Amino acid sequence: MGTPVLEDLTAETAGLDELVAGLEPAAWRQPTPAKGWTIAHQIAHLAWTDRRAVMAVLDPEGFARETEIAAARFDTYVDQGARRGAELPPGELLTRWRDGRARLRDALAAQPQGVRFAWYGPPMSTASMATGRLMETWAHGEDVADTLGVRREPTARLWHVARIGVRARDFAFSVHGRPAPAEEFRVELTAPDGSLWTFGPQDAAQRVTGPAVDFCLLAVRRRHRDDVGLRAEGKDADAWLSVVQAFAGPPGESRPPSRGTAR
């Protein structure tokens, strides 16, 4: 496969690694904005998911058995993986995460064009697998950064997150029990460098505009809608901003509004 998204994934994981590598063991137990999850849970979840992604790429039969386990334990499956990893000493957990993400990068880089892998949702191409891992790494990295009081500078890598959020529009409506709008929206997002990222027909009747980082934060449900500077034109576009999500599965709990305390 082409390398740009893999390079972006490597850079995104390296940035989060820098945040946690120097933490004292006690700091890994700090609670994050995700209810019941510490910093250790956040990194353990990423390590756990990377290893399952490696399995999906290199061991399809083993991953098929894993999806059967997931179906039988739908409500606890993901949290159990994070909890078990969080019980490890921080140094061991960090090593496990580094090893898993390196193995995934190498596995994806070796795949031929056009191959697709089973996943917990629809099958994934090599590019979509890498993009999904980047999105999740960035999202959980926000939880860690918020916990540590660190403001991460947004980068051009957010384009991948924004694109997933736009492409998942109809899915976002469906998981909230709502019919998807029949027409496409125009989405115009101001990138970190001031350029414009555009999605959808230029002449669409309904549109969403605003900073790309705000759209991405909302799409990974790390900010409340009241705390982002997005504008919707049209009833359906406005409804979308209440349900938008860039990840598979149920939406989970929304973040409460900051009441003026957002970074």
CA distances from 90 to 29, 40, 95, 132, 237 (A): 9, 7, 9, 25, 43
How many domains does the structure of the chain reveal?
A: 2
Q: Which residues pair with 187 in a beta bridge?
A: 199, 208
Co-location of 106 and 212 in the same domain: no
Whose structure tokens read 């555009």?
198
User: How does DSSP classify residue 227?
Assistant: G
Co-location of 126 and 10 in the same domain: yes
Look at residue 152 and tell me if it is in a domain: no
Co-location of 89 and 187 in the same domain: no
User: How does DSSP classify residue 151?
Assistant: -
Residues 6+ apart with CB under 8 A from 234: 185, 205, 206, 207
Instruction: Classify residue 8 by burial, with Cβ atoms within 10 Å: 0-12, 13-18, 19+.
Output: buried
Look at residue 257 and tell me if it is in a domain: no
DSSP string covering 29-59:
GPBPSSTT-BHHHHHHHHHHHHHHHHHHHH-
Rounded Cα distance, 217 and 211, in Å: 10
Q: Residue 169: how many CB atoms within 10 A of its CB? A: 24
Q: Which residues pair with 124 in a beta bridge?
A: 117
pLDDT in tens, the chain (263 residues): 446 899 999 999 999 999 999 999 999 999 999 999 999 999 999 999 999 999 999 999 999 999 888 887 767 788 898 999 999 999 999 999 999 999 999 999 999 989 999 998 789 999 999 999 999 999 999 999 999 999 999 999 999 999 999 999 999 999 999 999 999 999 999 999 999 999 999 999 999 999 999 999 999 999 999 999 999 999 999 999 999 999 887 787 778 888 544 44
CATH number assigned to the domain comprising residue 83: 1.20.120.450
Q: Which domain holds residue 34?
A: 4-134
Give the DSSP H/E element, type plus range, for residue 113: none
- For the chain, the residue count is 263
Co-location of 177 and 88 in the same domain: no
